[in-house]
Structure 1
Amino acid sequence: MRHARVWTAKQVGRFRQIRESSVTASGPKVAIVHEWLEHYAGSERVVGELLRVFPQADLFAVVDFLPKAEREFLGGRKVTTTFIQKLPFARRHFRNYLGLMPLAVEQFDLAGYDLVFSSHHAVAKGIITGPDQIHISYVHSPMRYAWDMQASYLRQSGLEHGLKGFFIRWLLHRIRNWDVRSAAGVDAFVANSAYIARRIRKVYRREAEVIHPPVDVHRFMPAQKQADRKQYLVAARQVPYKRVDLVVEAFRLMPERELLVVGDGPEHEKIAALAAGAPNITLRGKISDSELLTLMQQARAFVFAAEEDFGITLVEAQACGTPLITYGRGGALDIVREEGDPDGVSGVLFREQTAASIAEAVGRFETIREQVTTENCRGNSLRFSREAFQGHIESLAARLLDENGTGAI
């Protein structure tokens, strides 16, 4: 896989000049196509940073039901949507129109744009562009429920059998065929982690450049006064795949280690029952962002047992100067620097999603704790800053515009 290549300062400078003059006819015209706007979350952070890099870009989405309180990152711009926006019950149930979304995104008229970004995890990359246009697809993940997670999706939705289950299988089969075909219209794939780059290679048989998503590391800073870090911290929504239950089970095996569990969700009662009778485990439930920041700054280490495509929370913990003890699959492999890394140790990985493996990793962490410094963790987090993301995107756009011989260059 190709990681983000930093273009020369001269070329990036040329691109920035072009970008700043994009209101004129001489500059490249840019479009950003997002999946759907419902809440401000991880993929919307990426769109927000793309809009910072390309402030004159036009924005397109399948639907736009984003609340007024979460629209600040759009900068007041109008969002062009598809016919799904006006279909019955779309505001609450637009996902039920998944079968129409490939048709919907193909109706966007992007003929006047030099550079088109798609922010993709379902259908956005299926837009139609011409031979003189550059289409860069930033992939958060190929459509999991249509590919390797189909069996799990059907099982969790109770659709393994019956007529409705048969229809969903047929629909996902059609979507997979369209998904592969539409990949041919992408000029350059960008993955948010090496893990997603491997999934892109598996599904689309295309190489992807890795550009990690932007993290506001300047909001997550180490505490000015370092307290004695005693408690380990796990903070996540308590749903099955996050495996908070395994972390709790692991600390029941280590009564001498303190664990603070933050978050709520469908598995809260199960996790509370596991923690019952263990005086070293404290449950806090849902807390404010400011409280979570303080707890991250004070934690002995941040423990995480889920397999994530990237893992923004892991970077936020590192930005607080906090070591990581996390499952060694998915995006965590891009984030954690293990013992022996020439740039310094920032955490420990465990290789199995079991309580015993987590307990063993905590033990290993304790033996090397003096090596996992606040400075190492904080320095590691800067690789994932908003500024790093913007620089990599600018470099990629400059290179592709230059290679394409776009008149503005």
Structure 2
Amino acid sequence: MPETARVALAHDYLLVLRGAERTFAAIADEWPQAPIHTLLWDPAVCGPRLAGHPVVVSRLNRTGARQSWFRWLLPAFPLAASAMPLPADADVAIISSSAFAHGMPSAPGTATLCYCHTPFRYAWFEGERALASVPAPARPALAATLAAVRRWDVRAAARVDRYVANGRITQERIARIYGREAPIVHPPVEVERFAPGTPEGHVLVVCELVRHKRVDVTLEAARRAGVPVRVVGTGADEPRLRALHGDHATFLGRVDDAQLAREYASAAALVMANVEEFGIAAVEAQAAGRPVVAADAGGARETVRDGETGVLVPPDDVDALAEALRETDLHRFDAARIAAHARRFSATAFRRRMREEVEALARAGGDAPR
């Protein structure tokens, strides 16, 4: 791709700095002056990390939506994305999406690449969980909204020239839902932020505290195993989790990067009960030399070497997870070997692979119907 090529960037919403947002930030680092389009934007949180990029927001940003309640805008997101055209003079648009950004229209001469974290989970494969999260009288309206989102999503996907998946499970979903092939580029992990320390006797959870993360499985398994657990993260499920497990789990809320590095280094292991598309936390823990006890599915199969950098257990099996925590000598793992494995997922490797994908698309000139 010529150095003079004009690149535009897009992401669903930029309200927090977690895995998907950090992945997008690594893409933005590779094209440091490119404009960013996003539906919602919190400059206090994301502005410092994306400094130097002009940011264009949708009309929905006028609502002042923040991470704690932006999901209530769900019915408006497809229309807002469709009404937010990417720059007409862009040669290439790089879209990072797990929901709506891939529906932002581009000009006929713009080649579009979507780095897909997953097709929108609540529309396609976690609809029952979404419906269970609202009062019964609201469920018919939400079901109708999700059906409309699915129809819109398929139309939006057809206009994308090239998809790139963050792992095998997302690759399979893209093929099944959109009928498209997608190469895999694993997300970037800022492995240099982490270093091995002195592990203690507790295990660690690092994630957003929402039901699909299955934190309750981890906390119940840790209780049965008699292992203390520390929890980093906040979310809608936090009050329930505190009420059920506050006697044996320590909830730390959100922590800064320095404290997070210390939490990883001092834990006996990270526990990841959810089936993740990739699972950046699992790689961060390994960069700190700590093993991962994870569900044997999804991204963990790509990032954790069973018996060498962690332990894989059947998904949603509290007894198996409790047994692994109780019976495994988590201190026997070689910290240096685990950290070396994690370096395969560095931000440098990610940026190189993304540039290769973008350059391949630019040479092809786009290959999807518009």
| TM-score class, shorter | 0.7 to 0.9
Q: Percent identity?
A: 30
Q: Which residue identity lines up with residue 40 of structure 2 in the other structure?
A: V
Alignment map for 1:145-164 (pairs within 5 Å):
145-159=122-136, 162=137, 164=138
Match in the other structure for 2:50: 74
Match in the other structure for 1:402: 363
Alignment map for 1:357-376 (pairs within 5 Å):
357-362=320-325, 365-366=328-329, 370=332, 372-376=333-337
Q: Which residue identity lines up with residue 260 of structure 1 in the other structure?
A: V
Alignment length, in residue pairs?
356
Q: CA deviation at 1:315?
A: 0.9
Tell me the distance in 2 between the aligned counterparts of 1:115 and 1:365. Answer: 49
Alignment map for 1:292-331 (pairs within 5 Å):
292-331=260-299
* CA deviation string 1:301-324 (max 9, x = no partner): 222222222211111110001111
- Listed as ranges, the gaps of 5+ residues in structure 2 are none
Tell me the distance in 1 between the aligned counterparts of 2:115 and 2:21. Answer: 12
Are 2:21 and 1:44 aligned? Answer: yes
Match in the other structure for 2:250: 283
Match in the other structure for 1:32: 9
Q: CA deviation at 1:94?
A: 5.3
Q: Give the TM-score taking structure 1 as reference length.
A: 0.79
Q: Which residue identity lines up with residue 52 of structure 1 in the other structure?
A: D
Alpha-carbon spacing, 1:109–1:317, altered in 2? closer, same or farther (3 Å): closer
Q: CA deviation at 1:39?
A: 2.4
* CA deviation string 1:92-140 (max 9, x = no partner): 5654443333333233153211100111122111122345421100112
Are 2:306 and 1:338 aligned? Answer: yes
* CA deviation string 1:321-360 (max 9, x = no partner): 1111111122212210124xxxxx2111001322311133
Conserved? CA contact 2:93–2:110, under 8 Å: yes
Q: Which residue identity lines up with residue 347 of structure 1 in the other structure?
A: G
Q: CA deviation at 1:253?
A: 4.1
Conserved? CA contact 2:313–2:320, under 8 Å: yes
SS at match of 1:72: coil
Match in the other structure for 2:140: 166
Q: Give the TM-score taking structure 2 as reference length.
A: 0.87
Out of 339, 347, 359, the residue aligned to residue 378 of structure 1 is 339
Alpha-carbon spacing, 1:132–1:71, altered in 2? closer, same or farther (3 Å): same
Alignment map for 1:134-283 (pairs within 5 Å):
134-159=111-136, 162=137, 164-223=138-197, 227=198, 229-236=199-206, 238-255=209-226, 258-263=227-232, 265-266=238-239, 267-273=241-247, 275=248, 283=250
Alpha-carbon spacing, 1:34–1:241, altered in 2? closer, same or farther (3 Å): closer
**Root-mean-square deviation (CA), in Å?**
2.6
Tell me the distance in 1 between the aligned counterparts of 2:260 and 2:34. Answer: 34
Alpha-carbon spacing, 1:97–1:284, altered in 2? closer, same or farther (3 Å): closer
Alpha-carbon spacing, 1:337–1:129, altered in 2? closer, same or farther (3 Å): same
Conserved? CA contact 1:233–1:303, under 8 Å: yes
Are 2:104 and 1:127 aligned? Answer: yes
Conserved? CA contact 2:293–2:312, under 8 Å: yes
Larger radius of gyration: 1
